[in-house]
């Protein structure tokens, strides 16, 4: 996909996300991101949009922290999200093709990187927003899904910080049944390596339509079809640090906005000075803790509530077939052994 196509996708998906959020309501739970409500999704995605726009607008050539989550709710939060999304689209559209700024994945140019990354960031979170509705989320075009799978496998998991590793060498095959596309992922104690094609044997094969694979690999859906050793797919679910979008680790100088917990730092957005500088990246930060891709809600009204029974059962199910060592709320004894199950039904998506 070209830059213009990514920008068009970013524009459309952001509008769809806002529309779905408005229809669902700010308090609606997001099934694809357990523990999140629509307000958390808007705060996170809107913050990422502003963070991305700053690199291109100000031509930052090194990592800069984001501006934190806004202390907004209701209609003002929706307006804030729409404003930031429009600003990002306009910034990337007006930027010169040779703009020099920081990026964290390989790309022909920094502008190509940010257009692609934010297009997929917003697409996945649009699906999150629409999952809060009673209707089925809008479909994802095959070419978009194929491009997103390539970014995930060759970009995110081509980095040294990828956690998809195994002491014993394993081979994961990913096959798009609606396209002439396949990928072979070799997992070892080192970062995984991916090559296009289906040459050689594989320990586990994931097959299905490109759009379904795209969302499954981002831990939004169960795998459409699984053959072979289910523990290899379980390894992906357990070790894959996926949101969005992926947020940076300042110390590593790399980023993954969907992979770690967003900062708990907040910008109130209530003072005239803050409203007059809606896109400034604020430097005040609180330490982040490494966690799963999606955080628990940072909304005080939600985060202090006891876990509802249905939420606890959903979380227990999502941890099936893996050892939930990263979630202290779920005992490892609750998860059945992956070796006893060879179907994708046992591999429900991890909490974002």
Give the containing element (helix H, strand E) for 175. Answer: strand 170-176
Per-residue pLDDT tens digits for 104-156: 999 999 999 999 999 999 999 999 999 999 999 999 999 999 999 999 999 99
Please report how the helices 3-24 and 74-94 are oriented relative to each other, as an axis angle in degrees rounded to 10: 180
Dihedral angle, C-alpha 88, 93, 99, 105, nearest 10 °: 60
Query: What confidence tens digit (pLDDT) does each residue in 302-347 have?
Result: 333 444 444 443 434 444 333 333 333 333 333 333 333 333 343 4
Helix (H) or strand (E) holding 248: strand 246-249
pLDDT at 240: 63
Confidence of residue 176 (pLDDT cuts 50, 70, 90): very high
Residue 207 is encoded by which pair of tokens?
């097959």
C-alpha distances out from residue 68 to 86, 250, 287, Å: 19, 14, 11
> pLDDT > 90: what percent of the chain?
59
Helix, strand, coil distribution of the chain in percent, nearest 5: 40, 10, 45
Of the candidates 237, 293, 240, 303, the residue with the CA atom closest to the CA atom of residue 262 = 293
Residues 186, 169: Cα–Cα separation, whole Å: 7
Residue 249 in tokens: 């680790």
Across residues 234-247, what is the average pLDDT? 61
pLDDT band, residue 238 (cuts 50/70/90): confident
The pTM of the full predicted model, rounded to 2 decimals, is 0.71
Q: For 247-268, what is each residue's pLDDT tens digit?
A: 444 333 333 334 333 333 333 3
């Amino acid at each position: 996909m070209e830059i213009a196509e990514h920008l068009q996708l970013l524009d459309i998906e952001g509008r769809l996300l806002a529309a779905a959020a408005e229809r669902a309501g700010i308090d609606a739970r997001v099934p694809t991101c357990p523990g999140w409500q629509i307000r958390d999704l808007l705060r996170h995605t809107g913050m990422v949009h502003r963070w991305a726009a700053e690199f291109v607008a100000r031509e930052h050539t090194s990592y800069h922290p984001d501006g934190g989550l806004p202390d907004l709710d209701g209609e003002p939060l929706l307006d804030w999200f729409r404003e930031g999304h429009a600003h990002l689209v306009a910034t990337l559209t007006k930027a010169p093709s040779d703009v020099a700024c920081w990026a964290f994945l390989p790309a022909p140019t920094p502008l190509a990187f940010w257009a692609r990354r934010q297009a997929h960031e917003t697409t996945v979170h649009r699906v999150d927003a629409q999952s809060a509705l009673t209707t089925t989320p809008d479909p994802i075009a095959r070419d978009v899904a194929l491009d997103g799978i390539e970014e995930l496998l060759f970009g995110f998991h081509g980095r040294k910080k990828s956690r998809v590793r195994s002491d014993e060498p394993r081979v994961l095959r990913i096959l798009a049944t609606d396209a002439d596309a396949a990928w072979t992922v070799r997992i070892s104690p080192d970062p995984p390596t991916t090559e296009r094609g289906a040459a050689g044997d594989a320990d586990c094969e994931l097959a299905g339509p490109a759009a379904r694979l795209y969302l499954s690999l981002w831990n939004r859906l169960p795998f459409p079809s699984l053959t072979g050793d289910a523990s290899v797919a379980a390894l992906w679910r357990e070790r894959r640090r996926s949101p969005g979008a992926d947020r940076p680790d300042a110390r590593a100088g790399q980023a993954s906005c969907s992979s770690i917990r967003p900062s708990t730092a907040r910008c109130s957005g209530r003072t005239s000075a803050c409203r007059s500088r809606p896109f400034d990246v604020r430097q005040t930060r609180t330490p982040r803790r490494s966690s799963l891709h999606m955080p628990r809600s940072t909304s005080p009204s939600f985060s202090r509530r006891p876990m509802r029974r249905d939420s606890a059962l959903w979380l227990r199910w999502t941890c099936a077939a893996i050892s939930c060592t990263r979630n202290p709320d779920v005992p490892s004894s609750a998860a059945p052994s992956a070796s006893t199950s060879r179907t994708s039904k046992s591999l429900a998506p991890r909490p974002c």
